Each structure stands twice: as structure tokens, then as C-alpha cells.
């Protein structure tokens, strides 16, 4: 890819059933939550006065939206074999309420290989389904996109 | 239950396949058969419960869960079977 090649965009989107996430929280508890979500995400989604365990402990719609966003990021990264650790993709809630994507580890490596320098995310949910759209801006590099 | 029977039971309970687990072969692509990424997480956790181990980081890739044969290989590797 020549240095003058144009930037390109990649788009990923995903939908997740809120009930499926709630059932997973009920069935597997903190083990499910901690295998998928970062401490920041868990803190962001924990209910203030809910029970310590089970679906009531979390805003499961928010967990579902974050999982959808992670899957949308994976679609943008287009891994051939290596599936990045879900926790290497963090949906970081900013003070103003919007979210940004922060990559680390394997996800960051995949983004670097693809020349993806910027990601933007939009989350949405209603009572039964959550979704997310992610856009990645690719700057062509030696290995191309 | 045998290893394969346990795997098929886990897939029945958590795989959310679009087809009956009994109708698929050990080489059927589970993602092609309707298993979502989220369902594969549940399958992973349920396998850990059923066989009492935890998948290592290097095994947390899509190919580990792409078929019954692949899952069996991963389980046996983790349990030393």
C-alpha cells in the first residue's frame, strides 16, 4: 500500500439479547462477568442498591450493550485466527456519559496491524435487545488494510 | 457420561444452535450451525464447570469451539486425557 493511499473506514455492528446476558449472569455469576468485562466496565454496570449476586447486581442492558460493542469491535478488527481477550476491548464510559473504546493487548495488536488508529462507538438498548455500532478509521501502512 | 456426551449436553444447554445437537457430526461448524459468540462464552464456562478446569489464555480462540471435535481436543488437552 503506498503512503498516498486513501484512508478507509470499517464498520461493525452487533445485537445481543438482554435476557441471554441476564441468564448468563444468573447461571455463571461473577465468573461470567469477570471473564468478559474490565473492572471499569463492571463498576459502570453495577447497580447501586441491587443484590450482591445475580442479574439484579448489574444493569444487564448495559452489560449486553457492552458485549455487543466488543463484538462489533472484533468485526472491525477482522481477526483471522486469534480471538482477542474480551477484556482487551474496553468500553470506557466518559464523565459526560458517552463511551469510547480503549484497546490493549491482543486487540491493540490487531488494530495496529490493520492500521486502525481511531475507533468510535455508539451503544443502544431497550428492555429486550442491546446493540452497538463501531466505526474504525484505517490509515494505510506497510501491511495494508 | 463420556466426554462427547458431556460436550453435546453442554451444547444442548448453552450452544443455542439452530439445529438439534444430535443431528450434527463431530466436525460440524458450530458457528455455522448458529452458535453466537455470546453463546460460545456460555459453552466455555459450562465446559469448565462440567470438567472442572479453566481454559488457558492460549485456548481462548474461536477455533477451540468451532466443532465438537475441536472442543474434545481442547478438553482433553486441559484435563490431560
Higher pLDDT pick, A115 / B56 = A115
Q: Which residue carries 488494510 as its cell?
A: A145
> Does residue A50 form part of some domain?
no
DSSP track, A5-16: PPPEEEEEEEEE
Find residues 86-145 of chain A whose CB sits inside 8 Å of chain B.
86
Q: Residue A133: its pLDDT value, please? A: 98
Choose among B16, B38, B45: nearest Cβ to A31.
B45
Could you tell me the residue range of the domain that residue A79 belongs to? 8-17+60-138
Any A CB within 8 A of B58 CB: no
Hey, what's the cell of B25?
Answer: 457430526
Q: Rounded to whole angstroms, how far apart are CA atoms B59 and A138?
A: 29
In this structure, is residue A23 part of a structural domain? no
Domain that includes residue B47, residue range? 3-79
Contact B41 A81 (CB under 8 A): no
Residue of B nearest to A63 (CA): B38
Number of domains in chain A: 1
Cβ atoms of A138 and A21 within 8 Å: the answer is no
Output the pTM of the full model. 0.89
Note whether residue A118 is domain-resident: yes
Alpha carbon distance B25, B72 (integer Å):
13
pLDDT for position A145: 45
Q: In chain A, what is the straight-line distance between the N-terminal and C-terminal CA atoms, in Å?
A: 8
For residue A5, give how far its alpha carbon lies from the nearest alpha carbon of chain B (Å): 32
Q: What CATH number is given to the structural domain containing B17? A: 1.10.1200.10
Interface contact A37, partner B, CB < 8 A: no
Quote the number of domains for chain B: 1
Helices (H) and strands (E) in chain B, counts: 3, 0
Residues B3, B27, B77: CA angle, nearest 5 degrees: 45
Q: Do B39 and A74 touch (CB under 8 A)?
A: no
Closest CA to A65 of A15, A127, A103, A128: A15
In the predicted structure, residue A2 carries a pLDDT above the cut 60: no
Q: What is the pLDDT of residues B43-72, one digit of tens each?
A: 999 999 999 999 987 888 888 999 999 999
Could you tell me which of A116, A18, A123, A41 has the C-alpha nearest to residue A74?
A116
What lies within 8 Å, CB to CB, of B20 at 6+ separation is none
Q: What is the CATH number of the domain that holds A93?
A: 3.90.470.20
Cα separation of A134 and B13, whole Å? 31
Q: Shortest CB distance from B38 goes to which of A16, A31, A85? A: A16
Is A77 in contact with A114 (CB distance < 8 Å)? yes
pLDDT in the model for residue A5: 72
In a domain, residue A105? The reply is yes
The predicted structure's pLDDT at residue A1? 47
> Within a domain: residue A36?
no
Grid cell locating A49: 442498591
Tens of pLDDT, residues A75-107: 999 998 778 999 999 999 999 989 999 999 999
pLDDT score of A144 more than 70: no
The distance of B61 to chain A (nearest Cα, Å) reads 5
Beta bridge pairs of residue A124? A131
Residues in B touching A16 (Cβ below 8 Å): 38
Q: What is the pLDDT of residue A4?
A: 66
Count of CB pairs separated by less than 8 Å, A with B: 36
Percent of chain A with pLDDT over 70: 94
**Domain contains A52:** no
ipTM: 0.86
In 3D space, the residue among B49, B41, B37, B43 whose CA is nearest the CA of residue B15 turns out to be: B43
Q: Where are the alpha helices (DSSP H) in chain B?
A: 3-14, 37-51, 68-79
A129-138 vs A99-103, strand pairing mode: unpaired
Amino acid at each position: 500500500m503506498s503512503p498516498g493511499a486513501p484512508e478507509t473506514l470499517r464498520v461493525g455492528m452487533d445485537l445481543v439479547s438482554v435476557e441471554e446476558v441476564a441468564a448468563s449472569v444468573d447461571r455463571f455469576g461473577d465468573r461470567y462477568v469477570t471473564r468478559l468485562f474490565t473492572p471499569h466496565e463492571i463498576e459502570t454496570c453495577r447497580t447501586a442498591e441491587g443484590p450482591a449476586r445475580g442479574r439484579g447486581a448489574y444493569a444487564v442492558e448495559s452489560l449486553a450493550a457492552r458485549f455487543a460493542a466488543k463484538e462489533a469491535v472484533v468485526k472491525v478488527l477482522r481477526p483471522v485466527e486469534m480471538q482477542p481477550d474480551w477484556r482487551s476491548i474496553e468500553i470506557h464510559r466518559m464523565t459526560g456519559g458517552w463511551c469510547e473504546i480503549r484497546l490493549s493487548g491482543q486487540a491493540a495488536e490487531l488494530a495496529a496491524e490493520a492500521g486502525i488508529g481511531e475507533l468510535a462507538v455508539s451503544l443502544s438498548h431497550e428492555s429486550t435487545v442491546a446493540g452497538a455500532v463501531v466505526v474504525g478509521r484505517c490509515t494505510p501502512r506497510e501491511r495494508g488494510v | 457420561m463420556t466426554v462427547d456426551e458431556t460436550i453435546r449436553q453442554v451444547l444442548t444447554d448453552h450452544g443455542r444452535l439452530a439445529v438439534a445437537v444430535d443431528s450434527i457430526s463431530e466436525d460440524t461448524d458450530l458457528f455455522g450451525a448458529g452458535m453466537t459468540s455470546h453463546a460460545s462464552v456460555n459453552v466455555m464456562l459450562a465446559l469448565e464447570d462440567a470438567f472442572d478446569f479453566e481454559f488457558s489464555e492460549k485456548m481462548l480462540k474461536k477455533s477451540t469451539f468451532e466443532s465438537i471435535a475441536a472442543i474434545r481436543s481442547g478438553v482433553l488437552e486441559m484435563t490431560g486425557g
